[in-house]
Amino acid sequence: MEKDESFLIFDISEPYEEVNFYRRREDWNMAEHHHPYFQIIYVIEGVLLFKVDGEEYVLKRGHICITPPFQPHSLRTETGYYQLGINLQINKDAKGIIGLMDVYMPDFIVIDYSHLLDVLPAFEKDCRELTKLSKIKIANVLDGVMVACMENAVNGTDIDFKNKLLTFLNKNLDQKITLSDVSKELAISQSHLERLVKREFGSGVIELYNQLRINKACSLLSNSNYSIENISDYLGFYDTSHFSHFFKQKIKMSPTQYRKHKNWAK
């Protein structure tokens, strides 16, 4: 990726204003800006660092991001990257795609969409030929991408999402996890992440994380001989006093009382 390369096509069908293929060199960047239309970027090769609302998202091969109109953002890459870009028209279309995007995709979002890689060679060939038939095929592929992204936004709490979320949280029970940490790990905007977690688990991300810490503490108190101090250290608390206060807030009894209660129940 030694130099910038571009390949743009226009005059497809609504709502697609432009489709482009850009190859960016190493250490390329673009300062913060915005557009009056939805912009979609799909990373084909390399790594793109995409910054929105002070958060930087790492987009790798197979990741697609959708930026809503007038959302300030900046881009940079250390490795260089190759993208498929899709710019939608500003005005609403007869198909109703932009109207649906307004409803289902009001915030910046990143989606793992690796299976698009399978059709990219044929898609890029159609873009270069740009015959009447290829224009129809291009529009069909793009319609499928838009529909898939909206379905993901609506039904984003699939098994894969939940597994990734719970695996990350459980691996970091001894850390001071923030919403930003989880957002970056899953490559999802904070607002969208909160909505997904609320819908699936009935709580916010940090509330879910704290509940997992409590669950682990209860398990260790009930099923191990670890001291209160050891459990406190294991879960990343400052000291036993901090752990005890946190535990009592959630369980309504101290760790010692909880352990005695569970041992008595056995």
Domains of the chain by residue range: 5-154, 159-265
Q: Quick one: pLDDT at residue 163?
A: 83
The class of domain 159-265 in CATH terms is mainly alpha
Q: Model confidence at 265, in pLDDT bands (50, 70, 90)?
A: low
Q: What is the pLDDT of residues 41-70, one digit of tens each?
A: 999 999 999 999 888 888 999 999 999 999
Sheet holding 29-33, edge to edge: 29-33, 73-76, 48-52, 55-59
Q: Quick one: pLDDT at residue 227?
A: 93
Q: Quick one: pLDDT at residue 3?
A: 46
Average pLDDT over residues 209-234: 92
Q: Quick one: pLDDT at residue 266?
A: 52
Q: Quick one: pLDDT at residue 2?
A: 44
86, two tokens = 């899709």
Element (H, E) at 175: none
> Is the confidence at residue 97, as pLDDT, over 50?
yes
H-type helices in the chain, by residue range?
A: 97-104, 120-129, 132-154, 159-171, 179-186, 190-201, 205-223, 228-234, 240-251, 255-265
Contact 69, 36 (CB under 8 A): yes
120-129, 182-191, 193-202: range with lowest mean pLDDT: 182-191
Q: Quick one: pLDDT at residue 156?
A: 57
Q: What CATH code is assigned to 5-154?
A: 2.60.120.10
Average pLDDT, the chain: 89
Q: Model confidence at 187, in pLDDT bands (50, 70, 90)?
A: confident
Query: Is residue 71 classed as helix, strand or coil in its secondary structure?
Result: coil
> Is the confidence at residue 157, as pLDDT, over 70?
no
